[in-house]
Amino acid sequence: MAAKVIAVVNQKDGAGKTTLAMQLAGTLAQRGAKVLVVDADAQGTATRWAASAADNAPFPAAVIGLSAAGSKVHREVAKFLDNYTHIVVDCPPAVDSPVPQSALLIADLTLVPVIPSPPDLWSAMGIRQLVDRLREINTSLQARLVLNDLEPRTLLAKDALDIFPEFGMPLATTALHHRTAYRQCAVVGGTVHQLGGASHRRDCGSGGAGG
């Protein structure tokens, strides 16, 4: 069966794309899925994240860099569909880049991480428009907003949550909360599930970070 393709997109840098992509990919792999991360961002953050892992604790999913593929990313991803159960594509932060547009042509699901503040939500409007446009070609494409760096008790988060229904894209039931553990994951090249120690477990309880 062909892999399920998940594209992680947002036009704003620092929204948490790579954090979400790597946590999702690593978690799926640790649960027994065969996962490939496609690092389609020229910054190569996902590639460096995986390379930071220790030899005795490698990142649980495979990672390849395909930023040079540009508008042909979907064709390159298609070559791996029969070899994996899930392919997670980490796209660059630019709505006018050919990479997200190409990735959405082959994606089953797109996840849009967004920090819960009105300015961040407004900046993601271009991605919603892009998703709507690509759905005319890829009619099976589903989309979800994913809250990142969430501090639910703050007034800013509450104000943002009030305007989410106006965005026109369903909100995922899972959010990444404001936790230092997510930043630590990039340092050690792993996921929150691989971090040890009681303090790390507390940080990982509900989850967030930028990236």
CA distance 112 to 132: 13
Model-level pTM?
Answer: 0.85
Angle between helices 180-188 and 17-30 (to 10 degrees): 70
pLDDT at 152: 64
Q: Categorize the per-residue pLDDT at 156 as very low, low, confident or very high, splitting at 50, 70 and 90.
A: low
Q: Where are the beta strands (DSSP E) in 115-196?
A: 142-147, 177-178
pLDDT at 191: 86
Mean of the per-residue pLDDT values of the chain: 85
Higher-confidence residue of 135 and 160: namely 135
CA distance 48 to 135: 32
| Residue range 134-146, pLDDT digits in tens | 999 999 999 999 9
Domain boundaries, the chain: 4-208
Tell me the CA distances in angstroms from 138 to 109, 130, 155, one per residue in order. Answer: 11, 12, 38
CA distance 184 to 192: 8
CATH code of 4-208, in short, is 3.40.50.300
| Residue range 179-211, pLDDT digits in tens | 777 777 888 888 887 775 433 333 333 344 445
Percent with pLDDT over 90 in the chain = 52
The region of weakest confidence among 5-14, 154-163, 201-210 is 201-210
| Residue range 16-62, pLDDT digits in tens | 899 999 999 999 999 999 999 999 999 999 999 999 998 888 999 99
pLDDT at 205: 34
